[in-house]
């Protein structure tokens, strides 16, 4: 089963593959002429029509240029189900590792205790590690990580440009 990181790597590979294929000037964007040129060189029938279909699908702002972010958004949409499944699994792993009382929340103390018990960290290092996680994830600063906060955090890892 793919992790969030695996899905994100696949998305980036897909984006890079598309750019490598079509982006002749290396500016991380695609013009209609670059796509038509690629299709023409590869003996695709009706290269102009194929390019028009790609631009209709990907060129969201209709400026006749497909940016790297437009490609990413499209690839993300294609991989959304895999990404959602990976995020759900990752949230489940956080809960399994740190939620000691099974209430679907992770308190600061639960995380510290789990870090000491499972990873054999000393108390100070465990507290510092928990502080780091909470500074990244605990959006309301109540020292409790909820499922929603964990999901948002995992989503932010998957979509850092947003």
Of 78, 96, 119, the residue that ends a domain is 78
Paired tokens of 67? 């940016």
HSE of 21, CA atoms in CB hemisphere, 13 A: 13
101 and 147 in a single domain? The answer is yes
What residues make up the domain containing 31? 4-78
Q: How many domains does the chain have?
A: 2
Encode pLDDT of 41-85 as tens digits: 889 899 999 889 889 988 999 999 998 889 888 887 877 888 888
pLDDT band at 162 (very low <50, low <70, confident <90, very high): very low
Q: Give CA–CA dist 149/136, Å, rounded.
A: 10
Among the listed residues 76, 81, 72, the one whose alpha carbon sits nearest the alpha carbon of residue 18: 72
**Alpha-carbon distance 43 to 28, whole Å?**
24
Same domain, 61 and 121: no
Rounded-to-integer distance, Cα 122 and Cα 161, Å: 35
């Amino acid at each position: 089963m793919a992790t969030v990181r695996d899905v994100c790597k696949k998305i980036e590979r897909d984006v890079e593959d598309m750019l490598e294929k079509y982006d002749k000037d290396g500016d991380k964007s695609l013009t209609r002429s670059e796509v038509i040129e690629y299709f023409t060189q590869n003996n695709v029938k009706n290269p102009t029509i194929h390019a028009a279909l790609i631009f209709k699908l990907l060129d969201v702002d209709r400026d006749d240029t497909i940016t790297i972010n437009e490609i990413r958004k499209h690839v993300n949409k294609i991989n959304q189900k895999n990404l959602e499944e990976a995020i759900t699994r990752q949230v489940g792993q956080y809960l399994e590792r740190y939620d000691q009382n099974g209430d679907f929340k992770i308190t600061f103390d639960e995380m510290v205790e789990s870090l000491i018990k499972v990873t054999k960290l000393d108390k100070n290092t465990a507290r510092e590690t928990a502080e780091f996680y909470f500074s990244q994830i605990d959006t309301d600063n109540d020292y409790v990580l909820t499922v929603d906060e964990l999901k948002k955090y995992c989503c932010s890892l998957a979509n850092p440009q947003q």
